[in-house]
Chain A
Amino acid sequence: MTVSTAGRDWGVASACENVSGEVAVVGVGESDHSRASGRTSGEIAAQAVERALEDAGLAPSDIDGIMYAPFAGDQFDEAAFHRHFGTSHDMWVSKRGGGMVWAATAAHEAALAIRDGRARHVLNTFAVAWATRRSEMVGGPGESHAQELFKQSLEVPFGWFPQPVYFATIAKRHMYEFGTTQEQLGAVAVACRRHANLTPGAVMHGRALTLDAYMHSPVIVDPFRKEDCCLISDGGAAYIMSASDRAQDLRQPVVEVAGIGLGNSATGVHWAEQRAFTSTPQVFAAPGAFAMAGVEPADVDVLTLYDPFTIHAIMQIEDMGFCVKGEGGDFVEGGALDHDGGVLPYNTHGGLLSHAYVLGIAHVVEVVRQLRGEAAAQVPDARVGVYGGYTGPQASTLVLRRV
């Protein structure tokens, strides 16, 4: 057998300027998270942004930088911001914000903009209304994948579509290469659900999940059950970044951006092309972020990961260096991910699996709340928190630290 993840010659780290300690996350906000709400993503984002401003104690006119993603429909851009708040001031604008990998890397770009005096208070926001829009989307959130022409020609005709199908394939190969088990995938789902059950705003709040119930749930795409797959929900989140010295004068405890890394696969953008089929580019993202922050994986008090499927927790935990490659399955068992006593408290709000499907930006909000000491499933005395973002051919790591 050939392990498909051997070696480190399949990707590279992006160069990131050292911005450690320059900026802090001074305000966070989430919209209501729900199943189909009938709202647009712009309306949802506006609610999250209002709450982030309130949290920071800033006025709309203080926000002079805005970051969002130029996809996923109706995003909250500078025009939407001005329309909603009745403002008209100049804003520094970046379309390299939003969720996924950008929920981490936005902090790097914002830090550079703040360093150069292009902005003082930078908002990053992302929202989706995919539960509301689901029936009009081809394959639900698979729609953007269905539009991709190589996938249309070489993958979709054979039914290797949408995301649950290709990530089940990756999970099955991971099980073969490393002995990962269905119970280990289940341990991730159960930990996330337990945290969501403690988090009032989580979509799956109040719906318990035991490992036994997980194992008795029908397999929909081998080896995945529905509990291995992220929610489809309406929701959004936002966070505001400011220079660390300004943050001292604002309302909240200072949570600084300590380290950022971005990793890239060099073997194409499609999953079938990934030479390291059972790894993620966290292999290249995490080391730089940890080095910039001056921390080791063992220093991390709370971890949130972009987790469309359970296998993404196991792969990224391995690839970020929390355990040896291939031992992620063993690592996540036995309550290791629990907020109260786990060796690596993980997705303490419930993640994409059980909290809300807002593509990672609520993960950053959760890390900030943990480091302030105000999370629902609080990790005692959390000082260092990490968000790992993922898109497939890219992954990112954001290290935050309570000052």
Chain B
Amino acid sequence: MRPDFPLPDTDWEPTREYWAAAARGELAVPRCDSCGAYAWYPRETCEACGQSSFTWTMMSGRGRLFAWTIVHHAFLPQFSDAVPYVPGLVALDEDPAVRIVTRIVDCEPERLTFDLPVRVVFRPLSFPGIDRTVTAPFFTPDAQ
């Protein structure tokens, strides 16, 4: 395993643009150049039209809280300081079939509800014992 696990490998080609966009404070998803369908997770051919050319496209960063859980037990030692934390799936407004795995921040877990409007916020992702940090898309309830 990489020494900086569980940080993402930001150089891994299929998701390199995702992390590069996050570093700029943008949420980007591949979009088919032929039919305009979003492709998530990134894939080699478009499930809608079969073509294989995509452009990473900036998203609004708004969506709905599709599902979440509250993790009380650290299954990996690197998350010992993080528990309890709230990982979740956000269905993006542009296409709810695109679900972003993220963490919900700046909200008491008890206040979360299904399909709650949320928006992206970018924060450094860091783990104990790992020097490097990575800017990552987290989500928070959308006040608007």
Chain A contact residues, CB within 8 Å of chain B: 1, 4, 138-140, 142, 146-147, 149-150, 152-162, 164-165, 168-170, 172-173, 176, 218-223, 267-268, 270, 272-273, 275, 277
Contact = CB atoms under 8 A, between A and B. Distances in A.
B69 interface: yes
Contacts, number: 117
B115 to A, nearest CB: 7
A218 B9 contact: no
A153 B72 contact: no
Interface string B114-130: 11000000000100000
Given A152-B8, A164-B75, A270-B41, A1 B67 contact: no
Q: Which residue, of B12, B70, B134, has the highest number of chain A Cβ atoms within 10 A?
A: B70
A162 B136 contact: no
Given A221-B72, A270-B41, A277-B67, A169 B9 contact: no
A142 to B, nearest CB: 7
Interface in B1-34: 1, 5-9, 12, 14-15, 18-19
Given A159-B85, A161-B75, A165-B87, A222 B69 contact: yes
Q: Which residue, of A139, A158, A272, A273, has the highest number of chain B Cβ atoms within 10 A?
A: A158
Nearest to A171: B69
Contacts of A139: 75-76
A272 B14 contact: no
Contacts of A172: 67-69
Nearest to B89: A272
B72 A158 contact: no
A220 B103 contact: no
Given A169-B87, A173-B66, A173-B67, A157 B40 contact: no
Contacts of B71: 159, 165, 221-222
Contacts of B100: 272
A335 B88 CA distance: 34
Given A149-B14, A219-B72, A272-B41, A160 B87 contact: yes
Given A160-B101, A273-B40, A153 B68 contact: no
A222 B70 contact: yes
Interface in B85-144: 85, 87-89, 97, 99-103, 114-115, 125, 134, 136
B67 A170 contact: yes
Contacts of A157: 6-8, 125, 134, 136
A119 B75 CA distance: 44
A272 B142 CA distance: 22
B56 interface: no
Nearest to B76: A139
Contacts of B136: 157-158
B3 to A, nearest CB: 13
Given A140-B75, A154-B8, 10 more contacts: A138-B1, A139-B75, A154-B41, A157-B7, A159-B76, A161-B6, A165-B71, A165-B87, A221-B71, A275-B97
Given A164-B75, A220-B72, A159 B82 contact: yes
Q: Which residue, of B19, B71, B88, has the highest number of chain A Cβ atoms within 10 A?
A: B71
A169 B104 CA distance: 13
Interface string B46-77: 01000000000000000000111111110110
A150 B14 contact: yes
